[in-house]
Chains A and B, each alone.
Chain A
Amino acid sequence: GAGVSQSPSNKVTEKGKDVELRCDPISGHTALYWYRQSLGQGLEFLIYFQGNSAPDKSGLPSDRFSAERTGGSVSTLTIQRTQQEDSAVYLCASSVPGLHTDTQYFGPGTRLTVL
Chain B
Amino acid sequence: AQSVAQPEDQVNVAEGNPLTVKCTYSVSGNPYLFWYVQYPNRGLQFLLKYITGDNLVKGSYGFEAEFNKSQTSFHLKKPSALVSDSALYFCAVRDGGSQGNLIFGKGTKLSVKP
Contact = CB atoms under 8 A, between A and B. Distances in A.
Interface of A: 4, 31, 33, 35, 42-43, 45, 48, 50, 56, 59, 91, 93, 97, 99-100, 102-109
Interface string B77-114: 00000000000001010000001111111110000000
B99 A50 contact: yes
6 contacts: A4-B43, A42-B104, A48-B101, A104-B46, A106-B45, A109-B42
B43 A108 contact: yes
Interface of B: 32, 34, 36, 42-46, 49, 51-52, 90, 92, 99-107
Contacts of B101: 33, 35, 45, 48, 56, 59
Given A100-B51, A103-B49, A45 B43 contact: no
A102 B46 contact: no
A32 to B, nearest CB: 11
A102 B6 CA distance: 23
Contacts of A56: 100-101
A52 to B, nearest CB: 14
A31 B49 contact: no
Nearest to A111: B41
Q: Chain A: interface secondary structure?
A: strand
Contact of A104 (B52, B102, B103, B105): B102
A45 B94 CA distance: 12
B43 A106 contact: yes
B43 A103 contact: no
| Interface core residue of B32, B36, B100, B107 (most chain A CB under 10 Å) | B100
Given A42-B105, A42-B106, A102-B32, A107 B49 contact: no
Nearest to B105: A42
A102 B107 CA distance: 21
B34 A43 contact: no
Nearest to A50: B99
Contacts of B52: 99
Nearest to B36: A106
